[in-house]
Amino acid sequence: MPHTPAPFPAARARRLRRTDWMRDLTRENSLAVSDLIWPMFVREGVGIEEPVSAMPGVMRRSVDRAVDAANEAANLGIPVIALFPYTEGSKKTPGCEEAINPDNLVNTATRAIKAAVPDIGILLDVALDPYNSDGHDGFVVDGVIQNDETLMMLEQQALVQAEAGADILGPSDMMDGRIGVIRRALEGNEFSDTAIMSYSAKFASAFYGPFRDAVGASGALKGDKKTYQIDSGNADEALRMVARDLDEGADMVMVKPGMPYLDICQRVKSEFAVPTFAYQVSGEYAMIEAAGQNGWIDRDKVILEALLAFKRAGCDGILTYHAFEVAQRLQRDVDLF
């Protein structure tokens, strides 16, 4: 049973709040660089850092610049970067063939980064939407996303990504049965050490808009993704999806979006006690940046408060576009809170 505090004045909660050092000493949750995963967008070309208009401060980088950025991230102590491709329209097809090209953007970038910065972790997304002319995470036939046919392509995509050197695969497609298919393929092809961080609780959300702009999928998407992503009103369903993915072989699970779904993060960690992550998605990032630019919030403080909220909800780590900046601030060892 929870302890019942002594009555006032024997108990004064403010005793533990009166100085910086006392607040530091009694803080229940903290934020460290090791909690951060940095999403990064890669594109064709050389020597390019191209701003993403909907995400101030975020860049699409050519592979050489992505290598430079990964090296800087490693020097700051960031443990993992997540790579996402900006795929040229000419490479988007109904058959999503570019997804299984061993030399596609993310696979090329993975090999280049691993050659230059071998100790940083690489997380790759397993889904067809960056390569699909329909903008969906699975094959589309007569307007219907095909589950089982998509699984065969996801299996091949996972294998070429593992072969390229990805440490963690992040199936984000929300097709039924995908974790089992991918885990069996990895085990059967000498990739038993490749981890799976499943996007288990991925909701059909309006918060993804800027990301689709960043990967060039905004104009391609036909319809919506509600037939395979979770309804935003469903919490119990999200937990069923987590349980299913763990049963099929997921090593870690993710909740996406992040802050609007902290209740899901808390329930997942409490009920399953497994490594639990959240993705602070592009819409969350863009809102903070826009409000900060307009002077409506203290941007720097809000960034840290939001990330600390994920830790308080039970997350072991956060995918955040603010990772590089926050790592720099943490490394300076200033009193951030």
For the chain, give the mean pLDDT. Answer: 94
Which residue in the list 91, 92, 202, 225 is annotated as catalytic?
202
Domain extent, residue 112, equals 33-331
Structural element, H or E, at residue 41: strand 36-43
Least confident of 88-92, 178-182, 214-218: 214-218
Determine, yes or no, domain membership for 46: yes
Cα-based distances in Å from 230 to 10, 137, 206, 284: 49, 14, 12, 18
At 98, the pLDDT band (50, 70, 90 cuts) reads: very high
Determine, yes or no, domain membership for 16: no
Q: Is 202 a catalytic residue?
A: yes
Q: What is the pLDDT of residue 335?
A: 61
Q: Which amino acid, one-letter code, is at 150?
A: T
Q: What is the pLDDT of residue 212?
A: 78
Determine, yes or no, domain membership for 18: no
Q: And the tokens for 115?
A: 């050659």
Which residue in the list 91, 92, 225, 256 is annotated as catalytic?
256
CATH number at residue 155: 3.20.20.70
Neighbours of 318 (CB within 10 A): 26
Neighbours of 293 (CB within 10 A): 11
| Among candidate residues 50, 40, 54, the one with its CA nearest the CA of residue 218 | 54
Q: Which residues contact 234 (CB under 8 A, 6 or more apart)?
A: none
- Mean of pLDDT values over 20-39: 93
Q: Is 225 a catalytic residue?
A: no
Neighbours of 159 (CB within 10 A): 20
Determine, yes or no, domain membership for 23: no
At 221, the pLDDT band (50, 70, 90 cuts) reads: confident
pLDDT at 323 over 90: yes
Determine, yes or no, domain membership for 1: no
**Cβ contact 171:157 at 8 Å:** no
pLDDT at 319 over 70: yes
pLDDT at 1 over 80: no
Instruction: Give the count of domains, the chain.
Output: 1
Least confident of 84-93, 208-217, 306-315: 208-217
Q: How far is CA 61 from the centre of its chain?
A: 18
Q: What is the pTM of this model?
A: 0.94
CA atoms within 13 A on the CB side of 106: 33
Q: For the segment 131-175, what is each residue's pLDDT rounded down to a tens digit?
A: 999 889 999 999 999 999 999 999 999 999 999 999 999 999 999
Q: For the segment 278-300, what is each residue's pLDDT rounded down to a tens digit?
A: 999 999 999 999 999 999 999 99
Q: What is the pLDDT of residue 265?
A: 98
Percent of residues, the chain, with pLDDT higher than 70: 98
Peptide bond into 257 cis (omega under 30): yes
Determine, yes or no, domain membership for 11: no
Least confident of 28-32, 115-119, 272-276, 304-308: 28-32
- Mean of pLDDT values over 15-35: 92
Residue length, the chain? 337
Q: What is the pLDDT of residue 5?
A: 83
Determine, yes or no, domain membership for 54: yes
Q: For the segment 44-61, what is each residue's pLDDT rounded down to a tens digit?
A: 999 999 999 999 999 999
**Cβ contact 154:100 at 8 Å:** no
pLDDT at 218 over 80: no
Determine, yes or no, domain membership for 243: yes
